[in-house]
Structure 1
Amino acid sequence: MFAALPLGQAVPLSVIGGLLFALSFPSPGWWFLAYPAVACLLLAAMGQRARRAAWLGLLAGAVFWVPAISWAGRYLGPVPWFALALLEAALFALGTVAIALAYRWVAPVVPSTAGRVWGLPAVVSALWTGREWFSGSWPYGGFAWGRVGLSQSEGPFTHLAAYVGVLGLSFVVVYCVAVVVSLGLVGGVRLPMRIAMAGLLVAAVLAVPGWPTAVHGTVRIESVQGNGPAGYFDRAQPGDVLRSQVAATDVDARGVDLVVWPEAAAEYDPRREQVIAGALDAVVQSVGAPLVAGAVTQTSTGVLHNTSFVWDADGWQASYDKKRPVPFGEYVPDRWLYSKLAPSLIGLLQRDYTPGTKPNVLPVAGIRAGVMICFDVVDDGLTADLARGGAQVILAQTNNADFDGTDENLQQLEIARMRAVETGRSLVNISTVGASQVIDPDGHTIDRVPAYTATSMVTDVPLGTSTTPATVASGDVTLVLSLGGLLVLLACAPWRRRHR
């Protein structure tokens, strides 16, 4: 039933699947293409031997990752872009091997029609989810981009993220597709019954209501997009970014409870730079509200942090140091090795940020604000920490200036949207250049400003008070699914038959 396709059919399916998967992410962000993409990739891998499955997976992964993260070569050129794309493609190939073996090993153990239609897809989906979890964790903290669940920020299953998280949503999508694929191949079932069972599955998933998100009150936030020269290669002079933020802040806005600036918008530590402190004081006094901004800070021992801090009429009040600095962007792991492999590229990164240890929830303006600095938004654990720490709203500060004119900022925005749904919290995504939006707990945009424009938005942002199942148990669900799929695969492996 699950016979391997010849290469003449499997290779085109792998290529088509990879391309459709890339198109499901911004831009163009056609989320519905994720479903035929997964179907093509499953059909290509189905029943293949490990070596052939690895090559098919590597091909599909490369076809997906190369265009999906083309922004990685915006300034640094093709070397880091292709290096990251090929690494992720290799991990994609690893997952493809596991899925191919599931169709070879698990199917004979569950000979019943029900087992092959409903049980085998669960194992396949668990292995897919496990691969996404692994690639988002390794190496150097992983790269949790390109998950199936992240492509669904505008789809009909988006609300399920509040129940099972982003990785759990990947499982649901892949499971639905895998069941439909099995229904198309299984024998002994009439066509009307196949259609009815597929429709019943989709209807059951869609019937799950949105999580009853509770909100209590609002906070009026002025989010400022300065559109200054914040890029690494913009050759800005000290103070240029700060001045652009000050100029874009509407000091005449009424009733503002809190002002939010993007990542590194204050540039340097205002406790050490009186000019910066003076500029922040002027903003706070004019608006009559505290400010949450970002800056590069340095400890007395010379340790650098990418920091978000609260500044009010009395100065520095609280801070959070980014826990997820970007490898090869904000620090160079194993610098001694990579300096030998690519000295010119590594030489561009002269400073290394150290991961912070402080909680990512800060008291400000009488509320508790969860803080995400740029790529913190892809970290599942940090997302859960926000809700568990009592955050009522999420401030996602970022600097996308190095990726202007690419899809990076749109892809990151959609990740932020999924985090809002997952946590049941409103989220303010504020960038130096765009895309800056305010998103409600259901994932809907309630305010926005044009990209690459110096401006601000004043928004009454709902404060979340409920706890979603995803923030409580999504990590455990992912662990159970990943390990469960792997254990079932190993348990069904034909070890004894090989020995004989």
Structure 2
Amino acid sequence: MVVRMRSRARHLLTLPACTCAGLAVWAAFPPIGAWWAAPLGLALLASALRDRGPWAGAGLGLVFGVALFTPMLHFTAVAMGNPVGWVALTAVESLYLAAFGAAWALASRIGHLERPTATALLARMLAFTVIWCGVEELRSSWPWGGFPFGRLAFAMADAPMLPFAAYGGIVGLSALVALVGAGVAEAAHALRRRRAFNALVAAALAGAVVVAPVALPMESSAQDGTLRVGAVQGNVAEEFEDAFNRALEVTGNHAEATLTLAETVGRGTLDVVIWPENAADLDPRDVPASATLVEAAAQAVGAPVLVGAMSYADGVRYNDMVVWTPGVGAGEYYRKHRPVPFAEYIPLREQLRHITEQVDRIGTDLAPGTGPQTLTIHAAAQDRDVTLAMGICFEVAYEDTLRAGVEQGGEVIVIPTNNASFLHSSEAEQQLAQGRIQAVMHGRALVQVSTVGVTAIINPRGVVEQRTQAYTQASLVADVPLRTSITVADRLGAAPGLAAQLGAALLAAAGMVSGVSRLRRRRRRA
């Protein structure tokens, strides 16, 4: 009777435990940024899932996912002005965590994983890590390119494990967090069962995983000189929709900020000036009044200006960053490769219109660009060409997109973004944290330039050297190091992610086979 009551009490506590676990992992991300809360939250989740069946695991994983993504993705409600997208995205992302819960419940019942030995303990920790990373990789890549917000790695910008991003990439850094969480869970379980040696092994391994990456070398010095960059945040009125509807107001703000910058640093002292995504509310390639403002700004600084503009053609639109050279005008451009589904274009528009008319908020779909993931600019103060690895807005969350730019010769990463629609939500700070991880992973300085903030200069070690405040007109000037070497993570490419997905699938399948075999044995005994 006492054992049964304890079992019921444990079952009743699992739902609030999984809720707390999800909230703990959320707290690891900006705006709170308590990185150590992520492994503790995973440890609580792993403990709640212990000895559960696949259906119970799926349910508990779903609860964990809802608790994690509901606060994390609230910025979508801010951008839309209603909760429809927020609820839908939270539900979809949480389903991946339900899949994780089911897969781990299956894998954890593989015969040798259930043994109380230290070897089995290590195997359980690795299995938990592989399944987590496999599901995280799937969530971040499928469907329609996936949605990487909430990857464990993106909470580690201030963690001692950060240097490992240059070696294992996003997947590898997430794996370390998951491994620490699994180790804490195993140590706690071993202590409850009075297996001191097992507890010591798990705790020691978890501690080593946290501390050891500090010793990894991180190269950050310039290898091909430096690039003197001016990053301009022109600012947009908080009634951003009206601001973008008032012709040339946003363009004028950025031109004004650039003129102020020129007065401060002097003409001809900068190699390039970077404006953010959508900085030109009317395309200067098509609208003479917009071109006049951009040309005046470029002439004032005496350097090429990267201008964000929308181009319309054949019933679609494109998100471009255009190189504007003073006296020459528009030249080479980078066209965003990965539009955001349901934010910049609507998949299954006709089918979804039967559910909600919100799909028509996006009247013209954004189409993906083609060509290289780079832009080449002529550094004005140095009189030489420099190649930039490019990503626009949410592309900062996709390591393969930025890797392509680095492999194509990009010596510094540039991320123009427009955060105006997200107001004072956590989106901008989450994006900044993603940029810090990407800087380390690719071994490049990263310049993030926003219409309203956060505009920042990040060095190749992931340290924010300069940043602006939100909703202010400002500019930053920095000599960023140009680097040409390729990190281990970039050499590995997509292999770690594919290996994690394959490993997770094999472990789940092995768990199914083990469960069927166990059921057959029970039937024979009966």
In 2, distance between residues paired with 1:51 and 1:31?
A: 30
Is the 2:232–2:274 contact (alpha carbons within 8 Å) kept by the matching residues of 1? yes
What is the alpha-carbon distance in structure 2 between the residues aligned to residue 401 and residue 483 of structure 1?
A: 39
The C-alpha deviation readout for 1:271-314, integer Å capped at 9, x for no partner, is 22122222222122111111111100124x34310111111132
Code of the aligned partner of 1:227: N
For 1:266, the equivalent position in structure 2 comes to 280
Match of 1:80 in 2: 85
Specify the alignment match of 1:203 in structure 2: 208
The answer to whether structure 1 residue 62 and structure 2 residue 69 are counterparts is no
Tell me how far 1:359 sits from its aligned partner. 1.1
**One-letter amino acid of the counterpart of residue 169, structure 1:** L
Other-structure match for 2:322: 309
Contact conserved, 1:113 with 1:186, CA < 8 A, in 2?
A: no
8 A contact 1:5–1:46 mirrored in 2 = no
Over residues 355-410 of structure 1, what are the superposed CA-to-partner deviations in whole Å (9 max), with x where a residue is unaligned?
Answer: 11121111112211111100111122202112111111111000000011111111
Matches of 1:319 and 1:162, distance apart in 2: 29
C-alpha displacement at 1:234, in angstroms?
4.4
- Which among 264, 275, 284 is matched to residue 289 of structure 2? 275
The answer to whether 1:435 aligns with 2:449 is: no
- Relative to the length of structure 1, the TM-score reads 0.94
Q: Does 1:161 align with 2:175?
A: no
Q: Distance in 1 between matches of 2:317 and 2:119?
A: 55
Residues 131 and 507, structure 2, Cα contact 8 Å, conserved in 1: no
Q: Assess if the C-alpha contact under 8 Å between 1:392 and 1:465 holds in 2.
A: yes
How do residues 143-162 of structure 1 correspond to structure 2 at under 5 angstroms? Answer: 143-162=147-166
Q: In terms of mean alpha carbon deviation, does 321-330 or 433-442 score higher?
A: 321-330
Alignment of 1:29-178 (within 5 A): 29-74=33-78, 75-105=80-110, 107-108=111-112, 111=115, 113-178=117-182
Corresponding position: 1:239 with 2:248: yes
Where in structure 1 are there 5+ consecutive unaligned residues? Answer: none
Q: Quickly say closer, same or farther: Cα 1:111–1:5, change in 2 above 3 A.
A: farther
Offset, 1:322: 0.7
CA distance, structure 2, for counterparts of residue 233 and residue 147 of structure 1: 34
Residue 8 of structure 1, CA deviation: 1.5
Q: Distance in 1 between matches of 2:136 and 2:20?
A: 20
SS in 1 for 2:494: helix
> Unaligned 5+ residue runs, structure 2?
1-6, 380-384, 522-526
Q: TM-score, normalised by structure 2?
A: 0.89
**Aligned amino acid, residue 180 of structure 1:** V
Alpha-carbon RMSD across the aligned residues, in angstroms, is 2.1
Matched, 1:287 2:317: no
Q: Give the match for residue 223 of structure 1.
A: 231
Whether 1:455 aligns to 2:474 is yes
- Find the aligned partners of 1:192 and 1:487 in 2 and give their Cα distance: 30
2:256 matches 1:251: no
CA distance in 2, matches of 1:61, 1:219: 42
Which deviations, in whole Å up to 9, do the C-alpha atoms of 1:21-80 show, x marking residues without a partner?
111111111111112101111111122111111111111111111111111111331111
Provide the aligned length of Structure 1 versus Structure 2: 495
Q: Secondary structure, in 3 states, of the residue corresponding to 2:226?
A: strand
Q: Which residue of 2 aligns with 1:475?
A: 494
Q: Is 1:9 matched with 2:17?
A: no
Percent pairwise identity? 33
Do the aligned partners of residues 110 and 497 (structure 1) sit closer, same or farther apart at CA in structure 2, a change above 3 Å counting?
A: closer
